[in-house]
Amino acid sequence: MRKIKIALAVLLVLALTFTVFACKGGGDDDKKGLHVGILTTSGVDDGSFGQACYEGIQAFVKANPGTSVNDVKEDKFDRVVQAVAEIIADYDAMVMPGFQFAGAGKVADENPEKFFLLVDAYPKITDDGEEVQLDNVYAMMFKEEESGFFAGIAAAMHTKTNKVAVVNGIAFPSNVNYQWGFMSGVNYANKHYGTKAEVVELPAYAGTDVTGANVGGNYIGAFADQATGKIVGEALLAEGVDIMLVAAGDSGNGVFAAVKEAAEGNFVIGCDVDQYDDGDTGTRNIVLTSALKNMAPIVQAQLQKINDGTFKGENALLGAKEGGTGYVSAAGRHQLSEDALAKLAEVYELVKNGTIVPAANFNGHAPDNFPGL
């Protein structure tokens, strides 16, 4: 009987020991991982901007067991800041791609224990206030004019009709940067490589930038309107355009559809991410190359820093020098000629070292008058 009591006592001690250990969270498996939210206006399956950021989050989640992600779509631009405020309590970190999220800076300021990644915007505390830097916000903006510049050169060197165009969503600075960079690239190729390309603009779809200035171009007016995107694409094809840079989020899928239905020999240039797979149609592919903003690896890296406790708030401007911009040149992911690849590699280095500075919405240069032209 005494032996049974001793055995029971030992079992009781062991049970208490394991209970205490469990309550203390005895291993890494018990550690709660980051719960990341992504709020977009065009969706995480837009094949472009939102999807690139989402892929960066997914890569982070895959590399960090216990972490998770949830995507939320709010297509009303005037509600995005309110939407962030309504859902932030459910997340440790929030990723917000788009210029329209600048006002979410006030939500970040009111929630210092949360982390925020802004893409294409720097935070503002008030709607009409100046941009600020916050300790819990990593805000990245890109020199889209550089990627647009590479696209313009590619278009000018491959057009058969000598008519090219750029199609955008809304005339936010990032989109105007793509437009003016593209125009700069066409002008550079015409001057230095003997091309004779013309950039076609439809007056009915001219854009108005954030200052109220008319910037021309071909603006769909939304990032989630495939129907209008297709109309704009068809109108440009009717004007003889055979190559278009498409920087329009989900609206751009309408442009892709128009080009796929057109005769062989018409192409698009993808935007933000490698869109080659989106170009497949029957026995051909309509994607010439893609202009890149390397959002995915940067989003992944910043989430990792949050997870590791090394995060620092910053308002970053990323170009070729920082690995933020470029174009697709990987074998099997483009249809560029060897001559075009060689010339693009040449100008990439000139952009990277600052010899060429393509025109952008607010850098003081024009598409027909910029350093390096």
What is the average pLDDT across 260-273? 96
pLDDT at 22 over 60: no
pLDDT at 150 over 50: yes
Distances (CA, A) of 65 to 32, 80, 294: 10, 30, 24
User: Using 50, 70 and 90 to split pLDDT, how confident is the model at 31?
Assistant: low
What predicted TM-score, i.e. pTM, was given to this entire model? 0.84
What is the b/e burial string over 243-282, where b = at least 16 CB atoms within 10 angstroms of the residue's CB? bbbbbbbbbbbbbbbbbbebeeebbbbbbbbbbbebbeee
Helix axes 226-238, 252-261, angle to 10 degrees: 40
| Structure confidence at residue 127 (pLDDT) | 75
Please, what sign has the CA dihedral across residues 23, 26, 29, 32? positive
User: Using 50, 70 and 90 to split pLDDT, how confident is the model at 159?
Assistant: very high
Tokens at 16, concatenated = 């208490």
Q: Are 123 and 96 in contact (CB under 8 A)?
A: no
User: Using 50, 70 and 90 to split pLDDT, how confident is the model at 13?
Assistant: very low
Please, what sign has the CA dihedral across residues 94, 100, 105, 107? negative
User: Using 50, 70 and 90 to split pLDDT, how confident is the model at 212?
Assistant: very high
Domains observed in the chain: 30-142 (3.40.50.2300), 144-292+325-352 (3.40.50.2300)
Tokens at 197, concatenated = 């390309």
Compute the CA torsion angle 264, 268, 274, 276 (nearest 10 deg): -10
pLDDT at 258 over 60: yes
pLDDT at 15 over 60: no
CB-based burial label for 161 (10 Å; 0-12, 13-18, 19+) = middle
H or E, element range at 346: helix 338-352
Query: Taking Cα atoms as reference points, which of 82, 84, 44 lies closest to residue 61?
Result: 44
3-class SS of residue 27: coil
Between 48 and 141, residue with greater pLDDT: 141
Residues in the chain: 373
pLDDT at 121 over 70: yes
Percent with pLDDT over 70 in the chain? 92
pLDDT digits (tens, 9 = 90+) for 309-327: 999 999 999 999 999 999 9
Q: Are 80 and 61 in contact (CB under 8 A)?
A: no
**Angstrom distance (rounded) from CA 344 to CA 288:** 14
What is the average pLDDT across 273-299? 95
Tokens at 349, concatenated = 């280095």
User: Using 50, 70 and 90 to split pLDDT, how confident is the model at 32?
Assistant: confident
Least confident of 26-30, 127-131, 220-224, 277-281: 26-30
